[in-house]
Amino acid sequence: MDEKRNFTLLTDFYELTMMQGYFREKADDIVVFDAFYRKNPSGSGYAIACGLEQVIDYIKNLSFSYEDVDYLRSLNMFDEEFLNYLAGFHFTGDIYAIPEGSVVFPYEPLVKVVAPIMEAQLVETALLNIVNHQSLIATKASRVCYAAKGDGIMEFGLRRAQGPDAGTFGARAAVIGGCVGTSNVICGKQFGVPVLGTHAHSWIMSFPDEYTAFKRYAELYPDACTLLVDTYDTLKSGVPNAIRVFDEMKAEGKMPTRYGIRLDSGDLAYLSKKARKMLDAAGYPDAVIAASSDLDEYLINSLKNQGAAITSWGVGTNLITSADNPSFGGVYKLAAIRKPEDEEFTAKIKISENPAKITNPGNKTVFRLYNKETGKIKADLIALSDETYNEAEDLEIFDQMATWKRSTLPGGSYEIREMLVPVFLKGQCVYQNPSTMEIREYCQKELNTLWDETRRLVNPQEVFVDLSKPLYDLKQKLLNSRH
């Protein structure tokens, strides 16, 4: 996030009015808030955690400027004592998070904030804004890349994104989710990711004829020559003219290592197969056939099943906006409170007539259980933060709703990993951000821990997310106490 921009007021108004209420009540409780989501986006069997680097930047730069305080004063809602408090505000609490690029599942805390109640309340909106958006786009990108079955996916949706930040941070998230690069130059500069692209139809149309446009482009960019062949007639004009240019480059000893054609309209399966035959017959079996045109994971999957001869895909609108599921739905809920005079947290629960909206109480963590033989995820276990487990001992897990569904993992058959790691302790950042490309590499390893049944695009197998026995008992106790 750009440090020249002050995002402290990137918050909902009620966060500030509640802060003033706590201030007047002299509330100095330490609280636990969990940021989590309830449903995987796009019908997916998982999601990708993303946005932590921007959360860290936001927390580091969290302070009210003189202009911020003056603006709040002008609203005639806040007293001077509270405004003076804001003028000296900084974050002093703890934050734990699941690392970016991790596969995650519903209801488990992606971010846990342990802080004085006013501080924890203020960061809610910005934290959700950052994590929700980037996790959504990273998840969508991982689905698109899975559909491509190893072909490269280029993100190029900037012009269709909902504003500059959505386009830039969305491109970052798309690369983390698996894209090989982006067309977004400012994203490339800011996050060190590859920038990619060819040319537009306007380049072709600005020349007297298609051949001249291709020839000139090849002269300018001989080492990255991908020609857009569908401006006039793909098979009768575009591909033959591209082959003519390739022949001339070969004759001149200037044949590039990266070259090919791009299709942006028409029946991509039919055209790509015809173009492949033409290129092969001309002696260019290694020429790339790239394609774009309102692609998403379902269309790419269909084209692959039809035998389309496409090996590189440009995906824009449907990726950068996650068009079929444009919001992630993450929430931020109070889970525990500790009074200044107390040593232990008191668990809190939100009860709803909708069982999906009943929260998991207490100060919690997340354990991931892997099959020791395959390295695949067996289940996730949401537990109280002071719980410990021994991999040598048998572990019984059970469905939190249908409790008769139980499974015992024999000791020695599983490995366990705690997912939440400290990011801020006492207001100081203790986490070292990996580079975006390092996070991308980590994400690919994370995705490989999923079974193929969980990654399929339609009706995926759900990963079990269970509650530990102590957490389940605590939840039932609080629910029963409210009856």
CATH of the domain at 34: 3.20.140.10
Give the end of a domain, one of 273, 293, 313. 293
E runs forming strands in 138-195: 152-155, 181-182
Q: Give the separation between CA 166 and CA 54, rounded to whole angstroms.
A: 13
Same domain, 263 and 338: no
Supply the pLDDT for residue 400.
82
Same domain, yes or no: 224 and 132: no
Measured in residues, the chain has a length of: 483
Name residues whose C-beta falls within 8 Å of residue 9's C-beta, 6 or more positions apart in sequence: 68, 71
Q: Is residue 446 part of a domain?
A: yes
* Burial classification of residue 124, based on how many CB atoms lie within 10 Å of its CB (0-12 exposed, 13-18 middle, 19 or more buried): buried
Residues 31/337, Cβ–Cβ less than 8 Å: yes
In a domain, 65, yes or no: yes
Within-domain flag for 174: no
**Residue whose entry in the numeric block shows the structure tokens 């698109």:** 144
Is residue 81 included in any domain, yes or no?
A: yes
Helix/strand/coil for 326: coil
64 in any annotated domain:
yes
Residue written as tokens 């997340």?
Answer: 366
Q: What is the mean pLDDT of each run of 10 residues along the chain (483 residues)?
A: 74 98 94 98 98 97 96 98 97 98 98 98 98 98 98 96 97 98 98 95 98 97 94 98 97 91 97 98 97 96 98 97 96 96 94 92 98 97 97 93 90 97 98 98 98 97 96 96 80
**Residue 340: per-residue pLDDT:** 87
Q: How many Cβ atoms are within 10 Å of 9's Cβ, its own excluded? A: 15
Rounded Cα distance between 44 and 106, Å, is 11
AA identity, residue 445: K
Token representation of residue 154:
């280029």
Verify that 224 and 362 share a domain, yes or no: no
List the Cα angle 467/458/100 in 5-degree steps: 55
Residues 402 and 468 in one domain: yes
Pair (209, 285) in one structural domain: yes
Identify the pLDDT of residue 168.
98
The model carries a pTM of 0.96
* Same domain assignment for residues 133 and 23: yes
> Distance between CA atoms of 246 and 282, rounded to whole angstroms?
9
Q: Which strands form 377-384's sheet, in the order they lie side by side?
A: 414-418, 364-371, 377-384, 464-467
Spatial distance between the Cα atoms of 330 and 311, rounded to a whole number of angstroms: 35
Query: Is 311 among the domain residues?
Result: no
Asked if 289 and 335 sit in the same domain, the reply is: no
Mark which of 293, 312, 336 sits at the end of a domain. 293
C-alpha dihedral sign at 436, 442, 445, 451:
negative
* Residue 450: inside a domain: yes
How many CA within 13 A on the CB side of residue 435?
A: 11
**Which two three-digit tokens encode residue 352?**
């709803």
Phi, psi at 475, each rounded to 5°: -65, -45
As a whole number of angstroms, the distance between CA 425 and CA 409 comes to: 34
Running DSSP on this structure, what letter comes out for residue 342?
Answer: -
Do 286 and 345 fall within a single domain? Answer: no
What pLDDT is attached to residue 1?
Answer: 46
Phi/psi at 64 (5° precision) = -90, 120
The angle, 0 to 180 degrees and rounded to 10, between the axes of the packed helices 297-305 and 268-281 is 50
Residues near 342 by Cβ (< 8 Å), separated by ≥ 6? none
Are 194 and 209 a contacting pair, CB within 8 Å? no
CA distances from 168 to 77, 173, 216, 323, 475 (A): 35, 9, 31, 17, 41
Domain count, the chain: 2
Cα torsion 452, 453, 455, 459 to 10°: value is 160
DSSP state of 224: S
Residue 461 and residue 345 share a domain:
yes
Q: Three-state SS for 292?
A: coil
Q: Are residues 62 and 203 in the same domain?
A: no
274 in the same domain as 228: yes
| Final residue before a domain boundary, out of 293, 315, 350 | 293
Residue 307 inside a domain? The answer is no
* CATH number of the domain within which 217 lies: 3.20.20.70
The parent domain of residue 19 ranges over 13-137+326-481
Specify the pLDDT at position 3: 47
3-state secondary structure of 400: coil
Whether 374 and 237 map to the same domain: the answer is no
Its sign, for the CA torsion 31, 401, 396, 368, is negative
Contact residues for 239 (Cβ-Cβ < 8 A; gap 6+)? 229, 261, 274, 275, 278, 279
> Which residue's entry shows tokens 């017959």?
281
Coil, helix or strand at residue 189: helix
